[in-house]
Amino acid sequence: MSEGSDLYFRQIQAGEMANFVYLIGSNTTREAVIVDPAWNIPALLDIAKNDEMNVVGAMATHYHQDHIGGSLFGHTIPGLSEFLELNPAPVHVHKDEAEGTSQVSGIAVSELESHEAGDTLELGGITIRLIHTPGHTPGSICFLVEESGQPGYLVSGDTLFLGSCGRVDLPGSDPEAMYYSLNHTLKKLPDETLLFPGHLYSPEGQSTMGEQKASNPMLRVTSLEMFLGFMGVPS
């Protein structure tokens, strides 16, 4: 964070699948949201508490168990439902992800805050913009953290990784939608935008959109056909 910034931003490694959880908020109002709370919820909330931040909401990039908790391979991963028990607050999802989030987390759809693409949350001088990036799942979203005069921060979930992108061979995946999410929606972001992915799948935990546009093969494809070829989708 640069000098004079109101942004409170923490990237936290969590769990056994190299997930990243994020705390994003305002240093002025001491309000933060938690992105993809999963694995050890008390430990995550302790981090916010030690930083004297009030967690006023949770945001889910998508409904997979390693991001929001749920039953996976016979194990139960704590997530959104434990978060709500310990820290009742709105849970923000894209409207196309509400049903899946409900099924995986056990939280009723009516208890979720369903959003349209482009919706924003304001925390002090910080704006968090929801960018709909379907492909990995139907309602996958990235969060663009904006502050006047500062570069944006993109929290990209399982849509864009450093040097790669999320899987598109899972139930609910759509390889063609992923191509447009990456090469039309996200590629338009300024080069100076800082990139924070949903997993540590690379030596570094963060990058910039400029670096990724220059080096990430999934952002360097020149056609849908080429992208589908990389993804192993028969044409």
Judged by beta carbon, residue 12 or residue 48, the one nearer Fe ion is: 12
Residue 83, token pair as written in the block? 């978060």
The closest alpha carbon to 19, from 2, 6, 36, 42, belongs to 36
Q: Which residue, 96 or 158, is less far from Fe ion as judged by CB? A: 158
Query: How far is Cα 172 from Cα 186, in angstroms, rounded to an integer?
Result: 20
Residue 145 host element (H or E): strand 141-146
Cα distances (Å, whole numbers) of residue 64 to 10, 19, 41, 125, 130: 21, 11, 16, 31, 18
Cβ distance 199 to 20 under 8 Å? Answer: yes
Q: Is residue 31 within the footprint of Fe ion (CB under 5 A)?
A: no
Scanning residues 151 to 170, which ones bind Fe ion (CB under 5 A)? Answer: 158
By C-beta, is 26 or 65 nearer to Fe ion?
A: 65
CB of 118 to Fe ion, least distance (A): 22
**Cβ closest to Fe ion, residue 64 vs residue 92:** 64
Least separation in angstroms between residue 157's CB and Fe ion is 7
Structure tokens of 160? Answer: 């864009």
| Residue 191, token pair as written in the block | 């080069």
**Distance of closest approach, residue 79 Cβ to Fe ion, in angstroms:** 13
Q: Indicate the residue among 64 and 94 with the shorter CB distance to Fe ion.
A: 64
3 state DSSP class of 59: strand
64 binds Fe ion (CB under 5 A): yes
Q: How far is the CB of 158 from Fe ion (least distance, A)?
A: 4
Shortest Å, Cβ 28 to Fe ion: 33
Residue 135 in tokens? 């492909």
Minimum gap (Å) between residue 35 Cβ and Fe ion: 13
Evaluate whether 26 touches 126 at the Cβ level (below 8 Å).
yes
Closest to 116 measured CA to CA, from 141, 147, 146, 153: 141
Number of residues that bind Fe ion (CB under 5 A): 2
Minimum CB distance to Fe ion smaller for 25 or for 157: 157
Q: Which stretch binds Fe ion (CB under 5 A): 18-26, 57-65, 127-135, 204-212?
A: 57-65
Give me the 188-207 binding string for Fe ion, x by CB under 5 A, dash otherwise. --------------------
Least separation in angstroms between residue 66's CB and Fe ion is 7
Q: Is 97 or 158 the residue whose CB approaches Fe ion more closely?
A: 158
CA 70 to chain centre: 17
Under the rule (CB under 5 A), what is the footprint of Fe ion? Answer: 64, 158
